[in-house]
Amino acid sequence: MILIPQTDLKGGLWLLISTKQRILESSRHQLFWVMEDLAMDETTKKIIKYASYGFIQGMTIGLTSAFCWHRYMKRLPNELLAEIKKLFLREGRIEGSWIESSPRITTWQDEYRLVFVGGITRRENEQLVQYQFMFDARSKELLELEKVE
């Protein structure tokens, strides 16, 4: 058994609730329980009830979409690197490749863009040659590919 402080409009009040009962109570039942203790008319209770449902749904949707976006942004650099590697494999073997795991903001053609930067090393005429590339993070467009001297 645990003691939980509960206040109402009249002042402080201690409620004795079993631990098991407290764990099994859903947030919906707790909301109705608190609303019954307060002196409110039915309209106010309905407004609070539906506003809290909307708030909970909004939080759920927001957290879910943030989680999905985070997973997508973690997977995207590897997909872009695989795409550029396919292009280079047509012309010969690749010795090494890399890509930054988080995008950076840069200016390209007088516009601010969110880009992934990476590089590929391959052997040409018995020498290692390095290339650097830049992908747009939003459109997945290859913005720049240049040979590093």
pLDDT category of residue 29 using cuts at 50, 70 and 90: low
* pLDDT average, residue stretch 112-116: 91
Contact yes or no for 115/137 (Cβ under 8 A)? yes
Given a contact cutoff of 8 angstroms between Cβ atoms, the answer to whether 105 and 112 are in contact is yes
Kindly give, in sequence order, each residue whose CB lies less than 8 Å from that of residue 131, ignoring residues fewer than 6 positions away.
Answer: 88, 119, 120, 121, 122, 145, 146, 147, 148
Average of pLDDT values for 87-94?
Answer: 87
In a domain, 119, yes or no: yes
- The pLDDT score that the predictor gives to residue 111 is 87
Is 60 a domain residue? no
Amino acid at 141: E
Same structural domain for residues 82 and 25?
A: no
Can you tell me the distance from the alpha carbon of 135 to that of 148, in angstroms, rounded to the nearest whole number? 17
- Give the model's pLDDT for residue 19: 41
| The predicted structure's pLDDT at residue 125 | 86
Neighbouring residues of 48: CB distance < 8 A, sequence distance ≥ 6? 31, 35, 40
pLDDT in tens, 121-145: 998 888 899 999 999 988 888 899 9
Contacts of 101 (CB under 8 A, 6+ apart): 74, 77
Confidence grade of residue 14 (pLDDT, cut at 50, 70, 90): very low
38 in a domain, yes or no? Answer: no
Asked if residue 42 is part of any domain, the answer here is no
| CA distance linking residue 129 with residue 149, whole number of Å | 8
Q: What is the mean pLDDT of residues 102-112?
A: 88
- Domains contained in the chain, number: 2
Taking a C-beta distance cutoff of 8 angstroms, is the pair 123, 95 a contact? yes
Domain assignment present for residue 83? The answer is: yes
Query: Do the domain assignments include residue 87?
Result: yes
Kindly state whether residue 138 falls inside one of the protein's structural domains. Answer: yes
SS3 content of the chain, % helix, strand, coil (to 5): 45, 40, 20
Q: Which domain holds residue 12?
A: 1-31
Higher pLDDT, 139 or 149: 139
Asked whether residue 47 is assigned to any structural domain, the reply reads no
